[in-house]
Structure 1
């Protein structure tokens, strides 16, 4: 592994930044402290700073030592998850119900590391655009930045991003072209019946019975409607109803997500969900309200930019460490929306640890910080060579 020596030299400082961000996590569109730290660090390194992009987003602009018209964007997400941390780390979250359980504190730190190195060296011809995005975790931060004129104000010819991956070995990076992460919709279903005493169900239109039956039937959407050669998932992640042992409630609610690699499949699943709800409303004589909303686009790596990213990865972890085996992931990532506007690519950087992302015990390996920072720096140096 060949981490850039200058980045290796200030790795201890990167670890300190990451631990501070980890101890003070902020969820989507609330990343005011994080954004302020990012802006302060960038400005201190002589980088032009723009804040408040799409809410709490930050953009840094750095021009190389030599003239050039090309502009390369690098993106990191800043938000934490709305969950408690159970790691017992000395720098554990000080904010109850807030936890960097996905590694975004690491992503922010890695991009800061790349920005510092590039600002010190400026050994490139053109412009580096550092994009620090809020609200990746299902709240539409990328779309908010794009709607706020991100790429009109700060044009990019290409854009790149990365994610930590505890399911990959340290020193290995997954980077491959094509559809890499699923698109996603979230749905909420509200069933309105009629409540009664639990001892007199004949007086009720029981929404709990409807909810449980509907939950079972929705599992047929993928198994009996989607082409089995096309991947899709429909998961119900929340059922809620009632407040007492002896009361049949007025309402019950279901919520969940649909994942897919083909937009037509996502649309089919959403349509079938709605039709099933209509049928259940008629069958059980209740009202059912359905809200299905697209949250993530399918993340698709462009072939040319994927190869450029692979070469930058190989510069850091070696050819053997640059894994190009396709491994599409049903998880979603809103960097996909940026890739629909600007060509680019995304990779996954392996690190030590066996606790999965979004688990209350997840621990990011600090050893990944100089690796990710070096990859991001190298893609700028490679793509903006004189």
Structure 2
């Protein structure tokens, strides 16, 4: 097992900067905005809370998380909620509780496959519907699961991401409904990673699997993306109010008791405040949504202008770009034949850090890359805060300069030597 591709990219950026080399950091999925002062205050106030808490989490934090989901049309009671030090360990514990093989969309966030492999299981990858992301195509999943079972494998859980990392797309209601129907027919648990839910750019109904398969959907979230609190490490899982949900929650709680004992107490108090949706934080998330959407769409336009195929981003802060239309010129001029070749050249020749699609399960020969846009929000908290509160973030001088620099570098990528 190697270091996660996203974390490795972050370390590569730090190393290049320490060596005084130019770098355009578009590889690491960190939200890139300053912490709201009220959240800092809550954490500071709770800093003295050093005792172990309940394995599932303190009552106020679980009640706040239940209210968070209930206000988003997923009725939830506090006893359905379990907290953890980030949603990542909760997902791992859930895969462990489910047992059997894991079905993933293709492409999918890097850690899903890695966690499956840590449990000794190679994931079953299923392509997403055309133009979408985060959810396997239901018909293809049905065929893949039946084929796997005929070969002696034991698929038990499918993981979906809404909206998606790496594609930045939000699966359609039609695709989510079809997935739920197929999961019920195949008796699959659905793990719905909705960590980017509050960062969907356009308002409208959110297609959570919990709405159409409530008895078998476990939903996860955290504060790391909407409030940019990745380093604080606090997340929550909502288990269905069904016998299956109760069994899964107890299994995950048992795993938690042996792995992390309890979520850090100060973080739980901050989370209890954040998940109550106070108006000041609701307004902060709205600003973040505008920043991410504005810059992601501007970055998508730059890649489209360079000749790439790009699916317009719909949520989160990622752009998925396919250099396939440029394959011949890239091969002839740069010797690029794979996604890894492409990202190596972008880094070594142009100082651009992005991740190859193969890191997310795409074919190695595919010339796809995932671009994380917060790397150009600013070099300091003051710049990032100015971008956050700006009505038109792409007009901020440092963001406009970064976009222009990216455009020039991409043009140079396919230019003659």
Q: Could you say which TM-score interval applies, normalised by the shorter chain? A: under 0.3
State the structure with more CA Rg. Answer: 1
The higher relative CO (CA closer than 8 Å, separation ≥ 6) is in: 1
Q: TM-score, normalised by structure 2?
A: 0.26
